[in-house]
């Protein structure tokens, strides 16, 4: 497993040692980047590393205005407005909701999305190839991603035939993802049990539904509500001997069985290249929205043993990380 402290230390040291770059536009002031995210984390270290590799050093030849919603998406609009009023040169967002808030706040300041879900369907872009307008960046959705996740779940737990899916139908984003779950399930050969969770108050009834439906596996969408209660979900799955799959490794670290997802570290780091292009004069609408090219497969072997599952060596070799 990567030593996170060493990674962060490397970023900090590199930031001090990086060379200067010239801001393409004839500004006497330093370019100002607005950051609109939920909270600071390792992925943002990767973003700063991506900038450092291109010669940008915060406080030396670029300034950053950090704004955090602290897990409250309804704060994004006011924070986006703050950044617009500061007249930043560019806004970098950390989620689809943040990108939507930024796009509503300005039609002129360039916006770079570190990650986004279905941007072409959410009204953020005309298409992936030609976004148009003032926004571009990266998507965390890739063809057959959800099907691959179900395929891995079935490979580790071959007896799985009915998967309960915890999702929020009130979300603008998740209905697209749920349709992909249904499509992937038909290919893998499993049945899907829809279990709706809109608020934390829905978990008791949701868990009762999972039990009553005789589901033999669980999948949870990585939405804000589920993410905030990942330990509750992972504990329920383990307590009920349900193999579980997730969209983020944090669920696996909490005791879930497996996750298969794009590398957010890679996407955030690559976002630095688009910031560089735009500061040098490129129009965001001309830069295609890129899909993930690097994925992370994580297995919790301790959980597998508790579930009575023997993981084939071929799967262990394919895993990017095996949590003992």
For helices 145-156 and 174-188, angle between their N-to-C axes, nearest 10 degrees:
50
Tokens of 12: 């900090």
Listed residue (279, 290, 286, 220) closest to 255, CA to CA: 220
Using CA of residue 256, residue 260, residue 261, residue 262, what is the dihedral sign? positive
Contact 65, 85 (CB under 8 A): no
- Interval 293-324: pLDDT, tens: 999 999 999 999 999 999 999 999 999 999 98
Residue tagged 């796009």 (tokens): 103
Confidence (pLDDT) at 14: 46
| pTM of the shown model | 0.82
Within a 10 A sphere around the Cβ of 266, how many other Cβ atoms?
A: 18
CATH topology of domain 145-261+296-323: Rossmann fold (3.40.50)
Listed residue (94, 101, 134, 133) closest to 117, CA to CA: 94
Confidence (pLDDT) at 78: 97
Low-confidence spans in the chain with pLDDT less than 70: 1-28
- Interval 130-163: pLDDT, tens: 999 999 999 999 888 988 999 999 999 999 999 9
Tokens of 28: 């006497």
Confidence (pLDDT) at 2: 41
CATH 3.40.50.2300 residue window(s) in the chain: 4-141+263-295, 145-261+296-323
Say which CATH superfamily domain 4-141+263-295 falls into.
Answer: Response regulator (3.40.50.2300)
Residue tagged 């998967």 (tokens): 163
d(CA 287, CA 280): 13
Confidence (pLDDT) at 62: 95
Confidence (pLDDT) at 5: 39
């Amino acid at each position: 497993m990567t030593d996170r402290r060493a990674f962060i230390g490397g970023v900090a040291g590199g930031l001090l040692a990086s060379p200067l770059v010239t801001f393409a536009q004839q500004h006497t002031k330093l370019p100002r980047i607005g950051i609109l995210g939920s909270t600071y984390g390792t992925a943002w270290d990767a973003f700063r590393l991506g900038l450092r590799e291109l010669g940008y050093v915060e406080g030396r030849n670029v300034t950053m205005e950090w704004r955090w919603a602290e897990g409250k998406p309804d704060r994004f609009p006011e924070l986006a407005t703050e950044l617009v009023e500061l007249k930043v040169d560019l806004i970098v967002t950390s989620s689809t909701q943040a990108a939507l808030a930024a796009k509503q706040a300005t039609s002129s300041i360039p916006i770079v999305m570190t990650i986004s879900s279905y941007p072409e369907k959410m009204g953020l872009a005309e298409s992936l190839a030609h976004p148009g307008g003032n926004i571009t960046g990266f998507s965390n959705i890739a063809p057959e991603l959800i099907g691959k996740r179900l395929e891995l779940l079935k490979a580790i737990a071959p007896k799985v035939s009915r998967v309960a899916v915890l999702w929020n139908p009130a979300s603008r984003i998740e209905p697209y993802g749920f349709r992909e779950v249904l499509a992937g399930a038909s290919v893998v050969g499993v049945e899907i049990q829809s279990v709706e969770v809109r608020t934390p108050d829905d978990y008791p009834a949701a868990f009762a539904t999972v039990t009553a439906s005789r589901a033999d596996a669980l999948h949870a969408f990585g939405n804000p509500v589920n993410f905030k209660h990942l330990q509750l979900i992972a504990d329920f799955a383990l307590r009920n001997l349900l193999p579980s799959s997730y969209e983020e490794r944090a669920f696996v670290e909490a005791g879930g069985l497996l996750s298969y997802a794009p590398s957010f570290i890679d996407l955030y780091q690559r976002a630095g290249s688009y910031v560089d292009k735009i500061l040098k004069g490129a129009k965001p609408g001309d830069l295609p929205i890129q899909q993930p090219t690097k994925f992370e497969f994580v297995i919790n072997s301790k959980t597998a043993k508790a579930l009575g599952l023997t993981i084939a060596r071929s799967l262990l070799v394919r895993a990017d990380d095996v949590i003992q």
